[in-house]
Amino acid sequence: MMMTIGLLIGLGGAGCDAGPSASRSPASEFPAADPLRGQRLLAQYQCGSCHAIPGVAAARGEQGPTLQAFGRRSYIAGHLPNQPDTLARWIVAPSALVPDTAMPGMGVSPVDARDMAAYLGGLE
């Protein structure tokens, strides 16, 4: 439970900047990604216990920021470029990208993270 909360808190910081990101299409950057599977995985990992996530059942958490319009944000964790590959790496091993992050690694596989990133990147 504590690790799930940490993952969700870390993702919360992922969208601190609500400014527009560089023009991109999450589907074209991850052609093999499955955003619908990513949506289900966000529910499975209980990301909504800390975040409000459009399209994810019961995702009304308030500890972390909303992930609404995540695809339009410029940065992950305040300074990482919001690109699908970076977001997927963040989901897999956040402390490898930001050593002092509160978000722990949750054992998410690279394939699962890719699909989760594809879903979040499509939230316009």
81 three-class SS? strand
Structure pTM? 0.76
pLDDT digits (tens), the chain, 124 positions:
444 444 444 555 554 444 444 444 444 466 789 999 999 999 998 888 877 889 988 888 776 778 899 999 999 988 999 999 999 999 999 899 999 987 777 889 999 999 999 999 999 9
Alpha carbon distances (Å) from 33 to 21, 30, 64, 72:
20, 5, 25, 19
Residue closest to 10 by CA, chosen among 120, 123, 124: 120
Question: How many structural domains compose the chain?
Answer: 1
CATH assignment at residue 42: 2.60.40.420
**Residue 75, domain extent:** 2-121
